[in-house]
Structure 1
Amino acid sequence: MRLARNMAAAMANSVIVVLINLVALPFYLRLLGMEAYGLIGFYATLQTVLQVLDLGLAPTVSREIAHGAETGHQRRSASLLRTLGMVYIGVAIIIAMLVALAAPWIAAHWLQAKSLPEATVAQAVALMGVTLACRWPISLYHGALIGAHRLARSAATSMTINITAAITTIAVLAWGVRSIEAFFVVQAAFGLVHAIVLRGLAQRAVGERDAPYDFADLRRVWKFSAWMSGVAIGGLLLTQVDKLVLSRLLPLESFGHYMLAVLVVSGLQVLTMPVSNALYPKFATLLSRQDLRALEHLYDAGTRLFATALFALAFALAFQAGPLLTVWLRDTALAPEVAPLVAFIAVGMACTGVMYFPYTLQLAAGRPKLALLTTVVLLIVMVPTVLLLATRQGAVGGAIAWTVLGGLYLLFGTWLTGRYVMPFAGWRWLSSNVGVPLLATVLPALLGAWICRTLAVGPWAALGIGGLAALAGMGLGIAGSFAPREFRRVLGEALGRSTPAP
C-alpha cells in the first residue's frame, strides 16, 4: 500500500507544480515581460547545471537508507544523513559566492538582453545564486525521504510551499515591487523554508537523531557516489547543452520562446519523476531480497501502464500544441513560434521518460557504471548534433536534437540493461512493453490531427478532439498490453491490494 500511496502523492505533487507554473506564467509575462521571463528560464537552466555539485549524494543517500531499513542499520544511515547535511551547507555557500562573482560577466557577455539594463541583469543573476543556495539542501532531504518510503510527506510539503510561494510572488509583483529582483528574493525565502521543513521530516523518518557526525563514513559510499556524480554530470550536459547553446546564440526573447516550450513539455514530468522516485527504493528492496520474480512483474507491468499514459499525453502535446498555446496564452502570434518546439521536445521527452525504468533498475542494482556509459555514448552523439542543428536552425534545431536523443536512448539503453543487469529488461521489454503502447497511442493521435486539419476546427474543438484521441490511445494501449484479468490484478496492486504474480 505504501508504494501506491507514495506514487499517488508524488504524482499529485507533480501535477500541482506543473499547474502552478502554467497558471503563473501569464502573470509573469504580463508583469515582468518576455526578457525577464528569459532570465527565469536561465535560472532554471543554471539550477539544473549546478546539480553536478551534488556529486551523486542524493541518490546515494536514498539507496543507503532503503538498504539500512532492510538490513537493520538505521543508525548508520542517520549518521550519514547528518554528515551530508553539513556538506550540503558548505556547498550552498560556495554556490552563492561563485554565482555572485560571475554575475557581472554573465550579464555583459553571455545573456543577450536588449531592453533590460545590464545592471539589472547582473543583480538578478546574483540573486539567482542566493536562491540556489537556499534551495540546495532540498534534494538531500528529499532523497532521504524517498529512501525511507516517506515520499508522500515530501510531496505534501512541496505542494504546500510551492502554492504559497507562487501566490506570494504574484502578489508582490502585482501590488508591491514589480521587478525581476523581487521575484528571486521571494523564491529564495520560500526555498529556505522548504529546505528547513524537509530536514525535520527526514530526520524524523530516519530516526536516531543522536547519531554522531562521521565524515570518515563518507568513504564507504564514496565509490557509488562518485559514479553517480559522473552520471549526474553527463545527464546535465545531455539535458542542458541545448539551453546553454541557445542562450548564447539566440536573442533573449527567442530563448524565452524555447524555455516556454520546455515549460509546456515539463508537464510530462507529472508521470516520469513520481514513478522514478517511488520505484527506486522498491527496486532496491526487491533486489536485496533477491525476489527477481516480483521485480520482473513490477518492471513489466509498470512499464506498460506508464508508457501508455506517457505516450498518450506526449502525442496529444505534439499534435495539438498550436491550439493549446493559443487557448492558454491568448496570443495568436506567439503560438505558431512555440508550437513546433513543443512537438519535437515532447516526442524526445516521452522516449527518455520511458527509459527511467532501465535507469532506475541499473542504480538499484548498484550498476551506476552502466548509466555512466550510456550517458557518455549519448553525449558523443548529442553534443555535435545540438551544436550543428542549433547553429543552422536555431531554436527548432535544439528541439529536434531532443527527438534524436530519445530514439538513441531507447535502443542503446535497452540493449545495455538487458545484457548486463537483467535479461527481462532487454529487447522483449522494448518490443512488448514499450512498442505496443507507442503504436496504440500514436495512431489515434494522428487520426485526431488529420480530422482537425481537414475540418479546420477552432482551437477549443481541436483540444477536445486531441483529448478524445489521447483517451482512445490509452484504452487501446491497455487493451493491447493486458488481458482483462491481468489488468484487474495489476490495478488492484496499484491500489494497494497486493497479489502474487502468476
Structure 2
Amino acid sequence: MALSILTQGYTAAVGIIFMPLYLHLLGSEAFGLIGLFLMAQAWIQIVDMGFTQVISRDIARMRAGGLLETEAMERLRSLEWLFATLTVLTLALVLSTQHLIATHWIHAQEIDIATITSSLTLIAVAVVFRWFAGLYRGVLIGLEKQNRVNMLLVVFATLRFVGVFVVLIIVDPTPIVFFVYQAVVSSIELLVNRYVVVRQLPNHASLRFRMEAIKSMLPTVMSMSFLNIVWIASTQLDKLFLSGVLNLTNYGYFTLGATAASGILMLVIPFNQVVQPRLSFLVARNNEKELEELYRLASQFAVIGFVSIGVGLAFFAEPVLRIWTGSPEMAGIIAPILFWYSLRNSIIGVMLAPFMLQFARGSLRLHVLINAVLLIFLVPALFFAAQWQGGIGTGKVLFVASLFSLLLWSPVVHRFFMPRLKWRWLFGDTLPVSAIIAAIVWLAASNQPSFHQPILVLAWAVVAILASMFIGVLTGSHTRQFLFQQMRRLK
C-alpha cells in the first residue's frame, strides 16, 4: 500500500511541477492547448462507462473461483473489441469536427488554424490510446499485480511529463512536437500494458466479440456509469465552458491555477487507501462504537490536512505562484483563480469522509442524488459565471456549491448513516477545527514580514500551515486524544 501511495503521489506531483516549464517553453497560447489536452483526458472517462472497474472485479472473481475462466476471457475479449470500436468512433468524431472546433470554439490570436486542427487530432490520439491502456491496467489490478501497475505508472508518467520537456528542448518547442510525443507515448503505453496482460492470462486471441458478454456486465456498469458521468460533469464543466469563452492565453493561465489547486487533492488517494478498508471492515463486523470513533478521528484529520493546505494556498497564492512560475506578472493574474479553487478543493477533501461512510455502508444513492441535483444548478451557473468573470467566476460558483454540500447536505447524510452525528459532526468535529486553522493562516498571511525574497515568503507560508496543522490537532477532540495516546505509548 505504501508503494501505491508513493506512486500516486509521484505521478500527480511530477505533472504539477513541470506545468510552468511547458508554459515558458511553448508560450502562453500554446499552453492553452495543453489545458484542452488535460480536459479531454478527464472527459474521455465517460466513454469508459465503468467497464474497466467491472472487468477488474471479474478478473479478481476468476482468480478466486467465483467466475469461470472462459467467461472472464470472453468478457475481456469482448471489451477489447468494444474499446477498439469506441476508439475509432471517437477519432472519427474529432476528425470530422476539428475544423469547426478550431474556428468557432477555440479563440487563438497567434497560433494558426492548421496547427490547432493538427493538435486536436494528436490530442484525440493520445487521449484515446491512454484511455484504452487503462483497460489493461484494470486487468492487472484484478490480478493483484500492483507492483507492475506501479512500475508502469511511474515509467510512463516520467516519459509523459519529464521526457516531453527534454524533447521540446532538443527538437523544437512547438505544440505539434508536444502532442506528437504524447501520442507516441500513449501508443507505447497501450502496447506495453496489453503485452504484460497477455503474458499473465490464458490465450484469448481466438475469442470473438459476444454481445451477451457485454450485456452480463451492464447492470453493474449502468449504476457506475451514472455516478461517473455526474462526477466528471461536476468537476469538468467549468473547464469546458471556459475553453469556449477565454482565449487560449487566458485559458492557459486558468489551467495553471486549477492545476496548482489540484495539488490539494493529492491527499485523497492515500487518505482513502488508509481509512476506507478499515471503515468497511468495521461495518461488516457491525462494530458501531469503533466505527464512529474511527470516522470522527478520520474526519478531523481530513479537516487538518485539506483545510490547512487549501487555505494556505488560497491566502499565499501569489508568492507560491511567483516561485512556481518565476513570473510576478503571471502570478498576479492566476492568484485569484488559485484562491477560489483552493478553497473549493479543501471542502472536497473534508467531504471525503462522509463519502467514505456511505461507501462503507454500501449505499451511494444519497451521494449520487446530491451531485445530480447540484449539477442541475451548476450547468447554468457555471455557464454564466464563465461569461461573467472567467475562471474567477467559475471558482466562486464551485466554492459556493461545495460549501452548500458541507453545511446543508452533510447533516442529511449523517441522519441516514450515523444519526448520532447529524449535527455533531458539522458543529462539533469539523467547523470549529476548520475555523481555528483558517484564522491562523489568515493572521499569518495578513501579518507577514516584508520579505524581499519570494522564497522567504514561501518559508513563512509553510511555517504558518504547519503551525495551523499542529494547533488543529490540539483543537480537535479526537485528534488530540489520538496524539496523547501515541505519546503515552512512546514512554
- Normalising to structure 2: TM-score of the pair? 0.86
Residue of structure 2 equivalent to 1:235: 231
- 8 A contact 2:26–2:174 mirrored in 1: yes
Q: Taking structure 1 as reference, are residues 124 and 490 closer, same or farther at Cα in structure 2, changes over 3 Å only?
A: farther
After the TM superposition, which of the residue ranges 187-196 and 144-153 deviates more from structure 2? 144-153
Work out whether 1:355 is the aligned partner of 2:383: no
- 8 A contact 2:258–2:338 mirrored in 1: yes
Bigger Cα Rg: 2
Residue of structure 2 equivalent to 1:372: 368
Equivalence map 1:316-395=2 (5 Å): 316-363=312-359, 365-395=361-391
The alpha-carbon deviation at position 42 of structure 1 amounts to 0.9
Residue of structure 1 equivalent to 2:185: 190
How far apart are the structure 2 equivalents of 1:413 and 1:9? 35
Root-mean-square deviation (Å): 3.4
Work out whether 1:158 is the aligned partner of 2:147: no
Question: What do the CA deviations read for 1:377-432 (whole angstroms, capped 9, x no partner)?
Answer: 11123223223322222221112112112112223542343244454775433344
Partner of residue 9 from structure 2, selected from 9, 15, 38: 15
- 8 A contact 1:257–1:337 mirrored in 2: yes
Question: What do the CA deviations read for 1:464-495 (whole angstroms, capped 9, x no partner)?
Answer: 11101111121122223336663477899xxx
Residue of structure 2 equivalent to 1:307: 303
Q: Which amino acid aligns with 1:376?
A: A
Residue of structure 1 equivalent to 2:471: 476
How far apart are the structure 2 equivalents of 1:358 and 1:91? 35
After the TM superposition, which of the residue ranges 111-120 and 165-174 deviates more from structure 2? 165-174
Residue of structure 1 equivalent to 2:456: 461
**Structure 1, unaligned stretches of length 5 or more?**
1-5, 493-502
Q: Taking structure 1 as reference, are residues 166 and 405 closer, same or farther at Cα in structure 2, changes over 3 Å only?
A: same
- 8 A contact 1:151–1:278 mirrored in 2: no
Residue of structure 1 equivalent to 2:26: 32
Residue of structure 2 equivalent to 1:118: 113
How far apart are the structure 2 equivalents of 1:415 and 1:463? 37
Secondary structure of 1:394's aligned partner: helix
- 8 A contact 2:358–2:364 mirrored in 1: yes
Residue-pair matches, total: 484
Residue of structure 2 equivalent to 1:500: none
How far apart are the structure 2 equivalents of 1:478 and 1:377? 34
Q: Taking structure 1 as reference, are residues 425 and 485 closer, same or farther at Cα in structure 2, changes over 3 Å only?
A: closer
How far apart are the structure 1 equivalents of 2:198 and 2:347? 36
Residue of structure 2 equivalent to 1:109: 104
The alpha-carbon deviation at position 113 of structure 1 amounts to 0.6
After the TM superposition, which of the residue ranges 171-180 and 149-158 deviates more from structure 2? 149-158
How far apart are the structure 1 equivalents of 2:165 and 2:267? 27
After the TM superposition, which of the residue ranges 354-363 and 92-101 deviates more from structure 2? 354-363
How far apart are the structure 2 equivalents of 1:201 and 1:282? 32
- 8 A contact 2:302–2:349 mirrored in 1: no
Residue of structure 2 equivalent to 1:253: 249
- 8 A contact 1:234–1:379 mirrored in 2: yes
Q: Which amino acid aligns with 2:96?
A: L
Question: What do the CA deviations read for 1:119-144 (whole angstroms, capped 9, x no partner)?
Answer: 11000001111011110134444445
Q: Taking structure 1 as reference, are residues 404 and 147 closer, same or farther at Cα in structure 2, changes over 3 Å only?
A: farther
The alpha-carbon deviation at position 27 of structure 1 amounts to 2.9
Secondary structure of 1:260's aligned partner: helix
How far apart are the structure 2 equivalents of 1:281 and 1:216? 33
- 8 A contact 1:341–1:395 mirrored in 2: yes
Work out whether 1:430 is the aligned partner of 2:430: no
The alpha-carbon deviation at position 115 of structure 1 amounts to 0.2
The alpha-carbon deviation at position 100 of structure 1 amounts to 2.1
Q: Which amino acid aligns with 1:41?
A: G
How far apart are the structure 2 equivalents of 1:483 and 1:59? 34
Q: Taking structure 1 as reference, are residues 154 and 410 closer, same or farther at Cα in structure 2, changes over 3 Å only?
A: farther
The alpha-carbon deviation at position 329 of structure 1 amounts to 1.6
Question: What do the CA deviations read for 1:134-163 (whole angstroms, capped 9, x no partner)?
Answer: 101344444455566665543342122211
- 8 A contact 1:63–1:364 mirrored in 2: no
Q: Taking structure 1 as reference, are residues 172 and 471 closer, same or farther at Cα in structure 2, changes over 3 Å only?
A: same
How far apart are the structure 1 equivalents of 2:244 and 2:137? 33
**Structure 2, unaligned stretches of length 5 or more?**
none
The alpha-carbon deviation at position 315 of structure 1 amounts to 1.3
How far apart are the structure 2 equivalents of 1:201 and 1:362? 35
- 8 A contact 1:147–1:281 mirrored in 2: no
The alpha-carbon deviation at position 262 of structure 1 amounts to 0.7
How far apart are the structure 1 equivalents of 2:58 and 2:218? 12
- 8 A contact 1:378–1:408 mirrored in 2: no
The alpha-carbon deviation at position 106 of structure 1 amounts to 0.8
- 8 A contact 2:98–2:117 mirrored in 1: yes
How far apart are the structure 2 equivalents of 1:367 and 1:41? 35
What percent identity do the matched residue pairs reach?
Answer: 27
The alpha-carbon deviation at position 319 of structure 1 amounts to 0.8
- Normalising to structure 1: TM-score of the pair? 0.84
Equivalence map 1:278-297=2 (5 Å): 295-297=291-293
Q: Which amino acid aligns with 1:97?
A: A
How far apart are the structure 1 equivalents of 2:73 and 2:295? 30
- 8 A contact 1:349–1:402 mirrored in 2: no
Q: Which amino acid aligns with 2:171?
A: G
After the TM superposition, which of the residue ranges 312-321 and 111-120 deviates more from structure 2? 312-321
Residue of structure 2 equivalent to 1:444: 440
The alpha-carbon deviation at position 197 of structure 1 amounts to 4.4
How far apart are the structure 2 equivalents of 1:195 and 1:277? 26
- 8 A contact 1:29–1:37 mirrored in 2: yes
Secondary structure of 1:178's aligned partner: coil
- 8 A contact 2:296–2:429 mirrored in 1: yes
How far apart are the structure 1 equivalents of 2:461 and 2:44? 37
- 8 A contact 2:300–2:479 mirrored in 1: no
Q: Taking structure 1 as reference, are residues 147 and 247 closer, same or farther at Cα in structure 2, changes over 3 Å only?
A: same
Secondary structure of 1:333's aligned partner: helix
- 8 A contact 1:352–1:406 mirrored in 2: yes
How far apart are the structure 2 equivalents of 1:61 and 1:373? 26
After the TM superposition, which of the residue ranges 385-394 and 146-155 deviates more from structure 2? 146-155
Equivalence map 1:40-119=2 (5 Å): 40-61=34-55, 72-73=66-67, 75=69, 80-81=75-76, 83-119=78-114
How far apart are the structure 2 equivalents of 1:249 and 1:360? 36
- 8 A contact 1:100–1:127 mirrored in 2: no
Residue of structure 1 equivalent to 2:125: 130
Q: Taking structure 1 as reference, are residues 339 and 484 closer, same or farther at Cα in structure 2, changes over 3 Å only?
A: closer
